């Protein structure tokens, strides 16, 4: 492998790495989490990254959800290219909500797969299993989730005996330990297997619960800081970013500000005229009750696009309503997998379908969530000084591999 | 004084109070400060207000600054009526930036003055002296600032010997104690003078420094909670609101995101073609460096309105650019005291004039500030159950006197 070898993936150039490259996607990492943790003095390594490395801000993909952004990060391109624009979309022919976590929905190859094809040692560790098959698509190497670490096999995951390797018990899917397992595994993998590229992707369980700078949040970042220190000491080039930000979605009493959009539209336009899909919906809803700041609306016969759009725009708390075409253009989404309208709510407000379809009793803390434009700004941090970035380049979270591999001196 | 007596002030009806009414304006009180303080368990009285009183969300005035909002609260009307739309405006004839903290700029009478005229005992305590003359305009009764409490005289302020009454030393203008003095004075006044109406207005020194839920913020709200408990025990109807919210304005490293708008416009359009005014500017700049999310731009000869507007809109971080007419209509501002353009930046970004005119070396903590639409949502909390509010009424912070006096059962 020559040091000048360059791989082309989805139209972007990635030079062969000289040191191991570790990209960390910290789920729900609003920039303020890092700022406050540094202020509180609990993250000496992040502070060192500020002083000696590079700190950027970038835009994530809207909808600011986990899957579209993780896929953008590992493909280096927006959902218009890779196809994954949420957890769910409506299959119009079957008239069914379809989960998009199967690799058959992926329309672009990943940087990880390309490098593994070219002979690089690649490892992927994700917190929840829902992302594993998408991230590991066509990739040779190690790929497993913390959630199902106990079930990992050499055949399926390229590794086994994980609990022993990592030295932690299997974490609960709703825990800070689920993310800690990801970091701990990353350190052990770098120590024992030294992959050329590693992608570590956590879960936002903590960020949904705790505001930036509060004890629960700072404890998480202190934990993360310790593992980052180890990855750095092992010689890795580290690029850290987030899939999306996170904001409080409540009033001063902690009551969530929810627009039950299906209820509103049924009342205004008539039952059955529209179908509201919340692409945040996934099998793990305890921490957000399937409530985010983004929805897509499919219109049935008899519903007028312009009139529905106008009525949604008039609802207090709605930030933006776009037609399919405009949303696909502005947010770089696959037009065939979004509804006739895309709806984004304001920072403090989330969108639900029908009140009866959201069980808020499971929310034991005031709602914090994401999905909107208000969660688009995310950190990009590197433990190396990067070269200058052209001032007209809009930095994206999915530039992280590109910057880590091209820009690290 | 009959119990059915009703005063009309600026077109709104205020019934004579049956119990003392205390309105508290907590400067910079983003709703999340209260939510997090309740979650942390440090504000039992605020928690009780949630359970037994009334909690609303409302919109403050944009620009989300202290003076326009304090004046809206005490007049019950927007700046288009009362005239105060910032700390500074440009006197075009003199071509000079003029401070608007003189009562001569006030175009409407206050609820406080109207009640004092009608024989009510009225008291106003404000943290900083800059607000005192505006709030106390034409009002008989007690009116003083914590900042100059030591200089208060019977003649000027309707009260003297304040340090002795309050039992606190004169606080520094940059301190949490400046606000604590306001609350402590409020309790002592209610105990000893029992005013019919009292307005307490704090300073956002703490909110500029500390994020919601962090120790410095929680300590402030715990302090406040203790004084609110006492006001409640003394039988007051309490209405609490904020002049504006507060947001972090930095990246993950705590570096402020600043658009130096005068520099940008000078470079693009030519020096001297435009004049950027920051109405947040005031003599107390240590905690925000005169950086907020709102600016107004005056055009000189040779500058084309539409072209300048388009160029400002294209700057990353700008949320909105409105012409004078549109801004006056949308934000209910006095058209003669705003520039040709009104510019609002996004949640995480502030606007400066020229880089050389802002001394950020005084900022010893990451910038938190306000001024934009992103700081418009504020709490309204009452220690009484209010009657239902019509669903089509847009709740404003300047409804707080109206709701406290009309709605309290």
Q: Which residues of A touch B32 (CB under 8 A)?
A: 211, 248, 250, 252
pLDDT digits (tens, 9 = 90+) for B75-85: 999 999 999 99
pLDDT the model gives residue B95: 82
Question: Closest by alpha carbon to A152, among A140, A138, A162, A165?
Answer: A162
Q: Which residues of A touch B214 (CB under 8 A)?
A: 36, 40, 213-214
Distance CA B126, CA B161 (A): 17
Is B251 part of a structural domain of the chain? no
Q: Give the structural domain span for A363.
A: 257-369
Chain A interface includes B347 (CB < 8 A): yes
Size of interface A-B (CB pairs under 8 A): 104
Question: Closest by alpha carbon to B183, among B27, B391, B347, B409?
Answer: B27
Q: How many beta carbons lie within 10 A of that of residue A116, not counting itself?
A: 25
Q: Which residues of A touch B267 (CB under 8 A)?
A: none
Average pLDDT estimate for B202-223: 97
Q: How many beta carbons lie within 10 A of that of residue B406, not counting itself?
A: 15
B352 shares a domain with B223: no
CA distance A385 to chain B (A): 15
Q: Do A253 and B36 touch (CB under 8 A)?
A: no
- Could you tell me how far CA A268 lies from the centroid of its own chain? 34
Q: Do B316 and A394 touch (CB under 8 A)?
A: yes
φ, ψ dihedrals at A107, nearest 5°:
-110, 5
Q: How far is CA A113 from CA A66, A124, B13, B119, B300, in A?
A: 20, 11, 70, 80, 58
Q: Do B251 and A57 touch (CB under 8 A)?
A: yes
Tens digits of pLDDT across chain A (409 residues) = 445 699 999 999 999 999 999 999 999 999 999 999 999 999 999 999 999 999 999 999 999 999 999 999 999 999 999 999 998 888 888 888 888 888 899 999 999 999 999 999 999 999 999 899 999 999 999 999 999 999 999 999 999 999 999 999 999 998 999 999 999 999 999 999 999 999 999 999 999 999 999 999 999 999 999 999 999 999 999 999 999 999 999 999 999 999 999 999 999 999 999 999 998 877 666 567 789 999 999 999 989 999 999 999 999 999 999 999 999 999 999 999 999 999 999 999 999 999 998 888 878 899 999 999 999 999 999 999 998 888 889 999 999 999 999 875 4
A303 shares a domain with A161: no
B148 shares a domain with B277: no
Q: Name the E strands within A120-207.
A: 122-126, 142-145, 197-201
Number of domains in chain B: 2
pLDDT the model gives residue A283: 64
B205 shares a domain with B112: yes
A401 shares a domain with A335: no
Look up residue A125 and give its two tokens: 């560790």
Q: Which residues pair with B57 in a beta bridge?
A: B379
Q: Which residues of B touch A348 (CB under 8 A)?
A: 31, 57, 377
CA distance A32 to chain B (A): 6
A343: left (phi over 0), alpha (psi -120 to 50) or beta: beta
Distance CA B252, CA A397 (A): 14
Within 13 Å of residue B379, how many CA atoms lie on the same side as its CB?
29
Indicate which CATH number applies to the domain containing A387: 3.40.720.10
B39: left (phi over 0), alpha (psi -120 to 50) or beta: alpha
Q: Pairing mode, if any, of strands A197-201 and A21-25?
A: parallel
Q: Which residues of A touch B40 (CB under 8 A)?
A: 214
B354 shares a domain with B375: no
A314 shares a domain with A198: no
Chain B interface includes A103 (CB < 8 A): no
Q: Which residues of A touch B347 (CB under 8 A)?
A: 347, 374
Q: Which residues of A touch B36 (CB under 8 A)?
A: 211, 214
Chain B interface includes A40 (CB < 8 A): yes
Distance CA B198, CA B405 (A): 12
3 state SS for B108-171: CCCHHHHHHHCCCCEEEEECCHHHHHHHCCCCCCEEEECCCHHHCCHHHHCCCCHHHHHCCCCC
Is A67 part of a structural domain of the chain? yes
Continuous segment of H or E residues that includes residue B344: strand B341-345
Name the burial class of residue B12, with classes exposed (0-12), middle (13-18) and buried (19+) by CB atoms within 10 angstroms of its CB.
Answer: middle
A346 shares a domain with A292: yes
Indicate which CATH number applies to the domain containing B321: 3.30.1360.110
Q: Do B35 and A316 touch (CB under 8 A)?
A: no
DSSP string of A301-351, one letter each residue: TT--HHHHHHHHHTSTTEEEEEEHHHHHHHHT--GGGS-SEEEEE-TTEEE
Is B219 part of a structural domain of the chain? yes
Is B252 part of a structural domain of the chain? no
Highest mean pLDDT among A349-363, B8-22, B92-106: B8-22
A69 shares a domain with A212: yes
A201 shares a domain with A86: yes
Is A53 part of a structural domain of the chain? yes
Distance CA B294, CA A236 (A): 43
Is residue A34 within 8 A of residue A377, CB to CB? The reply is no
Q: How far is CA A236 from CA A51, A191, B228, in A?
A: 18, 11, 54
Name the burial class of residue A390, with classes exposed (0-12), middle (13-18) and buried (19+) by CB atoms within 10 angstroms of its CB.
Answer: exposed
Question: Closest by alpha carbon to A358, among A347, A348, A345, A367?
Answer: A367
Is A252 part of a structural domain of the chain? no
Cis peptide leading into residue B348 (ω within 30°): no
pLDDT the model gives residue A286: 59
Q: Do B254 and A56 touch (CB under 8 A)?
A: no
Q: Do A252 and B40 touch (CB under 8 A)?
A: no
Question: Closest by alpha carbon to B405, among B14, B8, B7, B113?
Answer: B14
Flag whether pLDDT at B288 surpasses 80: no
Is A1 part of a structural domain of the chain? no
CA distance B181 to chain A (A): 24
The residues, ordered by sequence, that sit 6+ positions from A87 with a Cβ below 8 Å of its Cβ are A65, A66, A67, A99, A100, A101, A130, A279, A280, A281, A282
Q: Do B251 and A365 touch (CB under 8 A)?
A: no
Is residue B175 within 8 A of residue B209, CB to CB? The reply is no
Question: Which of A28, A253, A345 would you mutate first to test chain B, the one with the most B CBs within 10 A?
Answer: A253
CA distance A25 to chain B (A): 15
B336 shares a domain with B274: yes
pLDDT the model gives residue B287: 65
Distance CA B296, CA B89 (A): 9
pLDDT the model gives residue A381: 98
Chain B interface includes A50 (CB < 8 A): yes
B213: left (phi over 0), alpha (psi -120 to 50) or beta: left
Chain A interface includes B55 (CB < 8 A): yes
Hey, CA dihedral for B129, B258, A42, A366, is it positive or negative? positive
Is A379 part of a structural domain of the chain? yes
Question: Which of B253, B259, B368, B390 would you mutate first to test chain A, the one with the most A CBs within 10 A?
Answer: B253
Q: Do B31 and A257 touch (CB under 8 A)?
A: no
Question: Closest by alpha carbon to B41, among B246, B213, B183, B275?
Answer: B213
Question: Closest by alpha carbon to A220, among A168, A186, A172, A180?
Answer: A180
Look up residue B279 and give its two tokens: 């109405």
A389 shares a domain with A299: no
């Amino acid at each position: 492998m020559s040091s000048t070898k360059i791989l082309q993936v989805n139209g972007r150039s990635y030079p062969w790495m000289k040191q191991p490259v570790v990209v960390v996607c910290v789920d729900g990492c609003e920039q303020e989490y890092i700022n406050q943790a540094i202020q509180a003095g609990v993250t000496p390594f992040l502070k060192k990254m500020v002083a000696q490395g590079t700190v950027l801000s970038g835009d994530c993909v809207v909808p600011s959800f986990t899957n579209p952004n993780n896929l953008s990060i590992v493909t280096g391109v927006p959902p218009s290219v890779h196809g994954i624009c949420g957890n769910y979309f409506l299959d119009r022919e079957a008239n069914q909500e379809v989960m998009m976590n199967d690799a058959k929905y992926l329309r672009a190859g990943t940087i990880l797969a390309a490098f593994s094809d070219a002979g690089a040692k690649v490892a992927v560790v994700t917190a929840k299993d829902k992302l594993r098959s998408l991230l590991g698509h066509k990739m040779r190497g190690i790929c497993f989730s913390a959630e199902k670490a106990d079930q990992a096999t050499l055949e399926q995951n390229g590794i086994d005996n994980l609990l022993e390797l990592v030295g932690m018990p299997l974490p609960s899917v709703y825990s800070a330990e689920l993310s800690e397992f990801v970091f701990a595994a990353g350190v052990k993998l770098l120590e024992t297997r030294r992959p050329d590229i590693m992608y570590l992707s956590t879960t936002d369980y903590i960020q949904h619960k705790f505001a930036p700078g509060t004890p629960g949040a700072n404890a998480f970042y202190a934990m993360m800081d310790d593992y980052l220190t180890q990855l750095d000491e092992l010689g890795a080039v580290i690029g850290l970013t987030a899939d999306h930000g996170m904001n409080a979605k409540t009033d001063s009493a902690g009551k969530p500000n929810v627009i039950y959009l299906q209820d509103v539209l049924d009342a205004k336009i008539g039952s059955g005229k529209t179908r509201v899909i919340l692409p945040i919906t996934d099998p793990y809803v305890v921490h957000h009750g399937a409530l985010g700041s983004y929805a897509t609306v499919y219109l049935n016969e008899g519903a007028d696009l312009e009139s529905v759009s106008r009525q949604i725009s008039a609802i207090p708390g709605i930030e933006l309503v776009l037609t399919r075409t405009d949303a696909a253009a502005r947010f770089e989404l696959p037009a065939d997998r979004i509804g006739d309208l895309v709806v984004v709510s304001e920072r403090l407000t989330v969108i639900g379908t029908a009140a009866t379809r959201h069980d808020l009793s499971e929310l034991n803390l005031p709602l914090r969530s994401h999905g909107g434009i208000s969660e688009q700004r995310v950190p990009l941090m590197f433990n190396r000084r990067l070269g200058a970035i052209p001032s007209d380049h809009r930095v994206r979270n999915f530039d992280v591999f590109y910057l880590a591999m091209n820009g690290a001196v």
